Structure 1
Amino acid sequence: MLKKLLSKLGVGAAKVDLVLHHPHVRLGEKLEGEFFIEGGTVEQRIRKLEVELQLIVQTNGKAYRRTVAVIPVSPSFTIQPGERKVLPFSYVLPLHLPITRPSVGYTFVTRLDIADGVDAFDQDAIRILPPLSLEKLFHAFEKLGFREKPSSGKITAYGQEFAFFPTEVFKGTVQEVEFSAFIEENGIRLFLEVDVWSGFGGFHEREIKREIFLSDEEIEDVEETAKKLHTAIEEMIEQPRSYAGTSYVPHASYPPRHVSHHHGHGMAGAIGGFAAGMLAGMAAEELLEDVIEEALDDHDLGDMLDVGDWFDGGDDII
């Protein structure tokens, strides 16, 4: 009797541990592991076993956490005292999520729902890696002597924005390069912004924006991609008036919109850009509402989270 009472309070209750084969995964790839469940001191009925994939956004020293996917693992079962169960875990990562960066993180929260007792939890951090095409784009910038800034990867109204600073060729001329990238059928469309030092003493900067398309063949060849980026940035610096008034902000028709009836999201859209519809449903809206409410008090989030037209329910996002 005492054991049953204590188990209801969580003492001597069943436990769960998710062990992942790898703590990282690329967008669209499968993550695998096992659940190790151990019975407590008494027989207990487990109502369900499920895992939540949670997004954690860090901004201004605060963390905002929201569930972006709930993964059912097992329905009701009974576990005996001291019994050990091992259940397989397999999950294909959705393609519509931002990748891990200093301000963007993820964790799996495993919940063992125990009837008439305190639920058991386990938490495992994971890193979401960029698709290979985006990773090669990063390598091309690195070949030009650019290094990714600690603040890179912030989420804006128009997608996840990456920022690099020059250490070699463009040092002293370019302050930083920012971009969002959108996948198309035959390559990646880059919305590029170059902040150039100008004026006496280099104390002022001007923003020059340009849209660039990189084919799949060019992306495959990092050297070729680096050359094209070098030429594009040089042109922006030498002919800034040619790009005056240019904006990489996607119009209503871009990225391409496709209606999908599979979980409300399709598999075409933005990689790196992750524009409207980035996350699943209300959870994302609530996340942004929380951030915006606090931004009204902080007065300094500005363009960090200008949500614009994120969630119209019809965009397909990778």
Structure 2
Amino acid sequence: MIQSLLNLFKIGSPKVDLVLQSHQIVPGAIVKGSFHIYGGWLPQKIKRLECDFVREAKNHKIEVIAPAATVLMSQTMEPKGKREVPFHYQIPEDLPPTSQAYSYRLQTKIVFVDDVKRFDHDELVVIN
């Protein structure tokens, strides 16, 4: 029961951080990095990692441009453990550059067996 309450409030659960080699990109380039997964207080079974490439408009409307990665895992993350999973994604070639009207980011989600989710996002600057 205690673990269910901790999971409900997202206390002590594993975390994910997408670490990128660069946050500035040109259309058509490949973004490289890795997902860093950090264990929480208790063992937790991870179902999958998902990452979407999204665009946010000035009015805060978020549009998913494309799924960037889905990694099925079915692994248990041990307390205080650390795991790295490689990541790469090719940015669409017809993408307008970052402006005051639009910003871009990679939105990462880690999903546990009990459907609890943790999120991370990384801003990207698209330049010409």
Aligned counterparts, 1:60-75, within 5 A: 62-75=59-72
Which residue of structure 2 aligns with residue 53 of structure 1? 53
Displacement of 1:73: 3.8
C-alpha separation in 2, matches of 1:30 and 1:7: 38
Task: Note the residue ranges of structure 1 that are not aligned, 5 or more in a row.
Answer: 131-318
Aligned to 2:62, the other structure's residue is in SS state strand
**Aligned residues of 1:8 and 1:117 also touching (Cα < 8 A):** no
Displacement of 1:117: 4.9
Amino acid at match of 2:41: T
**Aligned residues of 1:38 and 1:82 also touching (Cα < 8 A):** yes
**Aligned residues of 2:69 and 2:89 also touching (Cα < 8 A):** no
Aligned counterparts, 1:203-222, within 5 A: none
Q: Percent identity?
A: 29
* Cα 1:63/1:8, change in 2 over 3 Å: closer
Alpha-carbon RMSD across the aligned residues, in angstroms, is 1.5
Higher alpha-carbon Rg: 1
Larger helix proportion of the pair:
1
C-alpha separation in 1, matches of 2:60 and 2:38: 32
Aligned to 1:99, the other structure's residue is in SS state coil
Which residue of structure 2 aligns with residue 8 of structure 1? 7
Q: CA deviation digits over 1:260-302, x for unaligned, max 9?
A: xxxxxxxxxxxxxxxxxxxxxxxxxxxxxxxxxxxxxxxxxxx
**Aligned residues of 2:51 and 2:106 also touching (Cα < 8 A):** yes
Larger strand proportion of the pair:
2
Aligned counterparts, 1:31-42, within 5 A: 31-42=31-42
Pick from 95, 98, 103 the counterpart of residue 97 of structure 1: 95
Which residue of structure 2 aligns with residue 86 of structure 1? 84
Displacement of 1:65: 1.3
Task: Note the residue ranges of structure 2 that are not aligned, 5 or more in a row.
Answer: none
Q: TM-score, normalised by structure 2?
A: 0.89
Count of matched residue positions in the alignment of Structure 1 and Structure 2: 126
C-alpha separation in 1, matches of 2:45 and 2:21: 28
C-alpha separation in 2, matches of 1:17 and 1:111: 9
Displacement of 1:56: 1.2
**Aligned residues of 1:7 and 1:42 also touching (Cα < 8 A):** no
Aligned to 1:78, the other structure's residue is in SS state strand
**Aligned residues of 1:41 and 1:82 also touching (Cα < 8 A):** yes
Which residue of structure 2 aligns with residue 106 of structure 1? 104
Amino acid at match of 1:46: I
